[in-house]
Chains A and B, each alone.
Chain A
Amino acid sequence: MAEMNGEDGVRRRDFINIAAVSAAGIGGAGVVLPLVSQMAPSADVLAESSTEVDVSAIEPGQAIKAIFRKQPLFVKRLTQAEIDEANSVDVSSLREAQTLAERTKEGNEDILVTMGVCTHLGCVPLGAAEGEVKGEYGGYFCPCHGSHYDTAGRIRKGPAPTNLEVPEYEFTSETVITVG
């Protein structure tokens, strides 16, 4: 090896070491990528993304629980009284301003589809099954921290920040909805 002299030589030497260490760093970062992404949902989990529910058998005032993405889904057929009650509320007074019409599909305003997941910390609210407490507003009641939802699944009292989530869904026939 020829003697390297002057600043030029010093710089070149440093460059090689810095480049080698940088390459090791890039390689390490490249290994982290698959190690992190392996924890994200796998292909089969991502594929399980739609659920079909037949709503024809639900009587007014009744609700059924289905499963959407491994979480509870409430499908409720509202009575006329519940619809009237939901429509009589002053929307601007709500924590999250939404009308019943905005939360249901046109022509099927009596079918309320919501996630059965309290928006506070994720417990399953009561009120979907026969005989369960429906809370002060006649909809759903989350027993974990006392969130009260009204007949349209809107938050009225308690710590939950938003209304029960309405997932994306559509009527694929008169009586069947497809969620997701």
Chain B
Amino acid sequence: MIRIGGFLVGIGFTVVVLFSFIMGAYNFATEDKVGAPEYEFYKKPKDVAFAQDGAFGKWDLAQLQRGYQVYKEVCAACHGLQYVAFRDLAQLGYNEDEVKALAAEWINVPDIDPDTGEAIVRPGVPTDNFPSPYPNNVAAAAANNNAIPPDLSLMTKARGDGTAYVYSLLTGYGPIPEELTAKYPEFDTPDGLHFNEYFPNLNIAMAPPITTKDQVTYADGTEATISQMSQDVSAFLAWTAEPKMVERKQTGWVVMLFLLFATILAYFSKQQIWSAAKPKKTK
């Protein structure tokens, strides 16, 4: 009975799925293939190397400090960093007093007036998280033509190959390439959007944020080219997304080496134990 029932069920599912297959294949063969510029002209992130890459990678603290400066002077106007606290900046090589001073530079940390209970803003202290530039999403949407600037805390983990993606996006603005216009004459960048071939649908709401050389004056004297600033802020955002990354890899090496050693021991132990049961081949 089970086999007869199974046979019927199996044939049933097969017939139905093959019906879908035939219908789908017919449509596929007869329908005009509509190409889409977003598929053909979207580019994978650029190949860009960072100090923290690879199994032995370590943060370049000077770069992270520069990246913080770019974030503060350029990105922070629209993008928050809500999961990062000022105290975390100590990991970039700042001492306690410097962290306090850096936190106090952010004068828009929301709080409640202890006397009146009214909402106020005050300068940050190390225990505060980075303040968001907008009080809420509605305000963010209203101020930005309905495109809410995303929080950047986790940006490099929230995109495939995220660090390179951020770098590519920042340096990927430009005119619509001629091949695209030739192939899709109706393709256009609407008002208020900007063409960027590293953005999945090619038109991004964010205006080019890093546009001129020396837009930021680096404290350490590094030449602030567009590429340099973009790379620094990408590295900084890789750190905000995963501050424990280097610690994780370093712990990984200790664990892997120990496991390798233990596994080799376990292998010889197993061989030794099994030698007692080794078949005595009579052939």
Spell out A's residues near B (CB within 8 Å): 1, 13, 16-17, 19-21, 23-24, 26-27, 30, 43-44, 47-48
Contact = CB atoms under 8 A, between A and B. Distances in A.
Q: Indicate the member of B255, B269, B271, B273 with the most A CB atoms within 10 Å.
A: B269
B248 to A, nearest CB: 12
Contact of B262 (A1, A16, A23): A23
Contact of A47 (B127, B262, B268): B127
Contacts of B127: 44, 47-48
A13 B265 CA distance: 12
Interface residues of B, number: 17
Contacts of B273: 17
A41 to B, nearest CB: 13
A27 B269 contact: no
Contacts of A23: 258, 261-262, 265-266
Given A16-B269, A23-B265, A47-B85, 20 more contacts: A1-B271, A1-B275, A13-B272, A16-B268, A16-B272, A17-B269, A20-B269, A21-B269, A23-B262, A23-B266, A24-B262, A26-B258, A27-B258, A27-B262, A43-B87, A44-B85, A44-B127, A47-B87, A47-B126, A48-B127
Contacts of B255: 30
A59 B127 CA distance: 31
Q: Is the interface of B mostly helix, strand, loop or mixed?
A: helix
10 contacts: A1-B271, A13-B272, A16-B268, A17-B273, A20-B269, A26-B262, A44-B85, A47-B87, A47-B127, A48-B127
A27 B266 CA distance: 13
A23 B262 CA distance: 6
The list of the 3 closest CB pairs from A to B, nearest first, reads A20-B269, A23-B262, A20-B265
Contact of B265 (A19, A47, A48): A19
Nearest to A12: B272
B188 to A, nearest CB: 48
B23 interface: no
A8 to B, nearest CB: 14
A18 to B, nearest CB: 9
Nearest to A22: B265
Nearest to B129: A44
B262 A20 contact: yes
A175 to B, nearest CB: 14
Interface string B255-283: 10011011001101101110100000000
Contacts of B262: 20, 23-24, 26-27
